[in-house]
Amino acid sequence: MKQLTMPTKTFTFATLAALTLALQAGTAGAAAAPAAKPAPYAAAASAGAVNSAASNQIFNKYITLLQVKGQLPRAIAFLDTHIDEVSAYQASIMVLRLENAIVAGLPSFESGIAKPSIQTGINKVYKWKDSFADIISKTKDKKLKALLQEADNNGLKLETAEGFYFPVVDYKGFQKYRAYVGADVKAYIDIMTVEAEEPKVKDAGLMIGYQEIANRTLSQERFVKQFPSSNRAAKIKNLLHSYKILTFYGVNNSPLFDYDNNKMQPNAIKGYNMILERNKGTKSEYLFLLQQFMDLAKAHDYKLTDEVTAFRKAKLPIQ
């Protein structure tokens, strides 16, 4: 089979930071797939002309390959070549196992790229949004080239914050698997790609608008409701909680209520009210809570009064 190609200040709120950092680290410890085959997978498998014996052989070979130290790039290449020869259920397990393996290898690359010599080497040639490939093409440092190429081959991408360079999972690279996996894994890939490509927070400041915060929260909420038994439901629940915190509190350098006058950010007022208007009639616990919050804030001239503070503490406490 032909190989697949891609279609064209520290946080004030420790809970948000901890949840955000735990999302990638927690994936490696998750099971690869639910014990029983959900109905959508069964339907997908029966709809396709998949040879059971052959697909099982491919699946087993891939799982074995993933368990061999240093063979992750080879496993990725194998998955790219053979994912269309297995059932949707098997493909979903294979993709989630790949994510587990990439996350498990992440700490090693974090340590390597964190070395002062590597940081200096990247900084000498780095331009905004440069990829591993961009850095490799511009540097003459052979050690740097080798390390970054290995990171790239192991499913990672370059990210930067506060002048520091570090690797993260390249979820955009998972998009090529969407056509072969179950509905929950497909939705999961989409959610995580957005997170990887456009981080919500950097340098303790918001990197996305308030409407985007709400839209992402709604997407995560839909996932949890639609796929409660998904292997990635717990992870998306954690992400959803972090976005709720972000919605009602903001972060250190982008607080929802201004530090000087205690007034809600004008863009938040506009953005949240637009989201509520656009989604009238939509059944959503998040939207219901946001409507209550905005009604209360409006009654207090959008200022952080004792009543507004009490509402946040009661409905979404930060521990």
Scored b (16 or more CB within 10 A) or e, 171-206 reads bebbebbeebbbbbbbbbbbbbbbbbeeebbeebeb
* Model confidence pLDDT, tens digit, residues 255-303: 999 999 999 999 999 999 999 999 999 999 999 999 999 999 999 999 9
Do 229 and 183 form a contact (C-beta atoms < 8 A)?
Answer: no
Rounded Cα gap, residues 87 and 47, in angstroms: 9
Query: What are the pLDDT digits (tens) for 10-47?
Result: 333 334 434 443 444 444 344 443 333 444 444 344 33
pLDDT in tens, 198-245: 999 999 999 999 999 999 999 999 999 999 999 999 999 999 999 999
Evaluate whether 145 touches 153 at the Cβ level (below 8 Å). no
Over residues 37-65, the pLDDT tens digits come to: 444 444 344 334 567 999 999 999 999 99
Q: How many CB atoms lie within 10 A of CB 119?
A: 16
d(CA 73, CA 65) in angstroms, rounded, equals 10
Provide the 8-state DSSP code for 251.
Answer: E
Beta bridge mates, 255: 250
Residue 40 pLDDT: 43
Taking residues 89-109, what's their average pLDDT? 98
* pLDDT at residue number 51: 75
Please say whether the beta carbons of 267 and 241 come within 8 A: no
Locate the domains of the chain by residue range.
14-246, 256-315
Confidence at 4, pLDDT banded by 50, 70, 90: low
Tokens of 36: 């029983």
pLDDT in the model for residue 32:
41
Terminal Cα distance for the chain, rounded: 52
Model confidence over 122-178: pLDDT tens digits? Answer: 999 999 999 999 999 999 999 999 999 999 999 999 999 999 999 999 999 999 999
Q: What angle do CA 264, 218, 290 make, to 5 degrees?
A: 35
CA distance 268 to 257: 9
Q: What number is the average pLDDT over the span 73-86?
A: 98
- Rounded to the nearest 10°, the torsion over CA 88, 93, 98, 100 is 150
Q: Is the pLDDT of residue 66 over 90?
A: yes
Crossing angle (nearest 10°) for helices 14-27 and 233-249:
160
Q: Say yes or no to pLDDT of 79 above 50.
A: yes
| 51/112 Cα distance (integer angstroms) | 43
184 backbone dihedrals φ, ψ, rounded to 5°: -70, -40
Pairing of strands 250-251, 205-206: unpaired
Q: pTM for this one?
A: 0.85
- Cα distances (Å, whole numbers) of residue 224 to 38, 164, 187, 188, 220: 15, 34, 11, 10, 6
**pLDDT tens profile 167-188:** 999 999 999 999 999 999 999 9
Residue 214 near residue 284, CB atoms below 8 Å: no
Residue of higher predicted confidence among 7 and 309 = 309
CA distance 253 to 58: 49
pLDDT of the residue at 99: 98
- CA distances to 172, 175, 218, 264, 291 from 287, in Å: 29, 29, 8, 18, 6
